[in-house]
Amino acid sequence: MTEIERHSYDVVVIGAGGAGLRAAIEARLQGKKTAIISKSLFGKAHTVMAEGGAAAAMGNVNPNDNWQVHFRDTMRGGKFLNNWRMAELHAKEAPDRVWELEHWGALFDRTKDGKISQRNFGGHEYPRLAHVGDRTGLELIRTAQQKIVALQQEDHRDHGDYDARLKVWAETTVTRLLLDGDRISGVFAYVRETGKFVVFEAPAVVLATGGIGKAFKVTSNSWEYTGDGHALALLAGATLLNMEFVQFHPTGMVWPPSVKGILVTESVRGDRGILKNSDGKRFMFDYIPEVFKAQYATTEEEGDRWYDDPDNNRRPPELLPRDEVARAINSEVKANRGSPHGGVFLTVVDRMPGGAEEIKRRLPAMHHQFKELADVDITKEPMEVGPTCHYVMGGVEVDPDTGAALVPGLFAAGECSGGMHGSNRLGGNSLTDLLVFGRRAGLGAAEYVDALADRPAVSAEEVEAASAEALEPFDRTGGENPYTVHQELQQTMNDLVGIIRKEGELEQALQSLDKLRARVANVAVEGGRGYHPGWHLALDLRNMLLVSECIAKAALERQESRGGHTRDDHPAMSADWRKVNLVCRLVGDPADPRVELKRQPLEPMREDLITLFENDELKKYLTEEELPVSAAAEE
Ligand code: FAD
């Protein structure tokens, strides 16, 4: 076997986005020797792309905001399928995590009286997104990195070594979690630049690998979103929750083709942007669903008044949750009322009191993006936009308080974990999710290590098997090109498991994925191991295929439409299905495992939380027997 480098840590965090960095900071603050492993360059995690802001009920712009209102909005956005304990922890702890970030040096935009400014976003009752222009994720990452450097300086002072207790392994990709019996014992990784293998021994591993967007053809996600954490968890014996819920952001660029899918932030709509079809009609007023009728304006005049007087008017329907807006755009395009390149029009022209200058000040990145990529000046012309695969609500099933997965020693946080957002995530809730649950997972991992009687050991056989698996694409002769197989996988997911789903198409998708399994197992690459993107993709394909199978299976099973899962053949939301979580695990031959899907009951919401909602609202989501006695009695 080739020589393999070995390192030993207490906690290994896979991923250097917001969730990973926050988890690593916490593990280090708890005194644990911690490694951060990141497939991309340090600082180039997906989190840097987050534009709109971080949702936290600080009440800086509207003092009526508080954790209870945020909790209600999150549950409504997720159509009551959220893990309510996670939604509760998130709503309660998000303000502290944002203030903590400020304490560590983040420079948020301010209100006139000097507080952290908060902006409107879809599904949030009050202005709630703490932001830095439209570059909030970048500031989050910059601040977390600054905190890490400060901790490393402390370690240098105390131990003479910056990396003594917190080290970053950038451009290093984990391909396997290692187990001692059923417990985590470490991870197996390769260094992208050299192709060399590294084993990290550690009793606790935090997955913070982000999403799965690269399994779809049109996506706002970048190259590293290949569902690695999801697949690593499955392969180690953990479970994935509700993978059918994939968020298609309503506004991705549709033109030119080279940039199709790139995100147009929701802040455009939060900052007075409106959607129009080819007839010039502001069509969202035709798409307000029954469950949201009470909270949304029914006339353009009322919707427009809301920006300046939110207490006496209802919000415009452009700010409905993302799933509603994405479906509405899809319907307009299908009805031949779309824009020339297959989207609809989004415009801020003449919408801001400060005119073009205000547009450039409030939306600098969007102004730049459209000018550079599409030669469109958004101060003068509308943008063309359409749905793009953006976020996965499904993910590793975890304990809400500690982030612990089913496998002892395995933790998950951020986009790769499941439960928090139910069937649909509200914009802005991810950045605070990363901070709240990143911290909790780091803490959970540290406490787990403290409680261990003995450290698990990494076995030579497991390392040998992981090494052989990683080298297989080089050993095959006459195998397929990984790029061809990837394109077919993406096309299958886009065409058959996309924004609107049907039984027949989902069955067809599963058959196609079954055929792709053999082809993924037969991809081949040539050449050396140093910086070899084809080889990297060959290894990522295993992960994308696994998550795609989970998504398609769960989408076929759930016979209702809810949040990020729309079934053309089952268009209604069903109170009976709301009580069901769909859980995937791997079964069968470990060398060629199959995805098994099971229904699992959702835990009923705690009494004090359920009473935060009006009975009339609860009746829209819950079954008769789930309703509190008072609500049922009103019938
Ligand atoms: P990431 O930030 O993606 O980090 C994942 C990390 O894992 C990376 O470092 C990656 O290299 C690493 N990794 C992956 N696989 C491996 C592996 N096998 N081995 C080693 N490392 C690995 N949310 C909001 O709340 N507000 C917003 O305004 C907002 N805007 C967005 C705009 C865009 C364009 C996009 C795409 C998303 C936006 N989101 C927003 C969503 C939010 O940014 C993401 O959900 C969030 O940043 C995910 O953070 P994370 O820490 O879970 O993962």
In angstroms, rounded to a whole number, what is the distance separating the alpha carbons of residues 381 and 379? 6
Is a pLDDT exceeding 70 seen at residue 565? yes
Mutate to test the pocket of ligand 1, among 142, 209, 390, 421 (most ligand atoms within 8 A of CB): 209
Active site residue 156: no
Is a pLDDT exceeding 70 seen at residue 630? no
Query: 563: closest CA among 441, 365, 392?
Result: 392
Pinpoint the alpha helices (H) of 227-354: 228-235, 267-270, 300-306, 322-334
Q: Specify the pLDDT at position 256.
A: 87
Q: Specify the pLDDT at position 51.
A: 81
Report the separation in Å between the CA atom of 44 and the middle of ligand 1, taken as the mean of its atom positions: 9
Active site residue 269: yes
Residues 6+ apart with CB under 8 A from 345: 275, 276, 277, 278, 339, 382, 383, 384, 385
Report the separation in Å between the CA atom of 149 and the middle of ligand 1, taken as the mean of its atom positions: 21
Q: Decide: pTM greater than 0.95.
A: no
Q: Could you count the other beta carbons within 10 Å of the beta carbon of residue 616?
A: 10
What is the pLDDT averaged over residues 430-436? Answer: 98
Specify whether the CB–CB gap between 230 and 547 falls below 8 A: yes
User: Does the Cβ of 391 fall within 6 Å of ligand 1?
Assistant: yes
Q: Specify the pLDDT at position 42.
A: 93
Q: Specify the pLDDT at position 634.
A: 45
Q: Specify the pLDDT at position 631.
A: 55
User: Does the Cβ of 39 fall within 6 Å of ligand 1?
Assistant: yes
User: Does the Cβ of 139 fall within 6 Å of ligand 1?
Assistant: no
User: Does the Cβ of 263 fall within 6 Å of ligand 1?
Assistant: yes
Atom of ligand 1 nearest to the CA of 38: 21
Query: 199: closest CA among 602, 600, 434, 470?
Result: 470
Catalytic residue among 22, 28, 165, 249: 249
User: Does the Cβ of 433 fall within 6 Å of ligand 1?
Assistant: no
User: Does the Cβ of 18 fall within 6 Å of ligand 1?
Assistant: yes
- In the three-class reduction of DSSP (H, G, I as helix; E, B as strand; rest coil), residue 357 is classed as helix
Specify whether the CB–CB gap between 462 and 223 falls below 8 A: no
In angstroms, rounded to a whole number, what is the distance separating the alpha carbons of residues 70 and 88? 9
Q: Specify the pLDDT at position 133.
A: 85
Positive or negative, the CA dihedral 35, 37, 43, 47 is negative
Kindly report, residue by residue over 93-103, the tens digit of the pLDDT.
999 999 999 99
Atom of ligand 1 nearest to the CA of 20: 51
Is a pLDDT exceeding 60 seen at residue 200? yes
What is the pLDDT averaged over residues 362-368? Answer: 91
By CB atoms closer than 10 A (0-12, 13-18, 19+), residue 170 is: middle
Kindly report, residue by residue over 237-296, the tens digit of the pLDDT.
999 999 999 999 999 999 888 889 999 988 899 889 999 999 999 999 999 998 889 999
Atom of ligand 1 nearest to the CA of 16: 9
Q: Specify the pLDDT at position 1.
A: 53
Q: For 207-225, give the DSSP string.
A: E-----GGGSSSBS--TT-
User: Does the Cβ of 379 fall within 6 Å of ligand 1?
Assistant: no
Catalytic residue among 28, 76, 131, 269: 269
Kindly report, residue by residue over 109-156, the tens digit of the pLDDT.
999 999 999 999 889 999 999 999 878 999 999 999 999 999 999 999
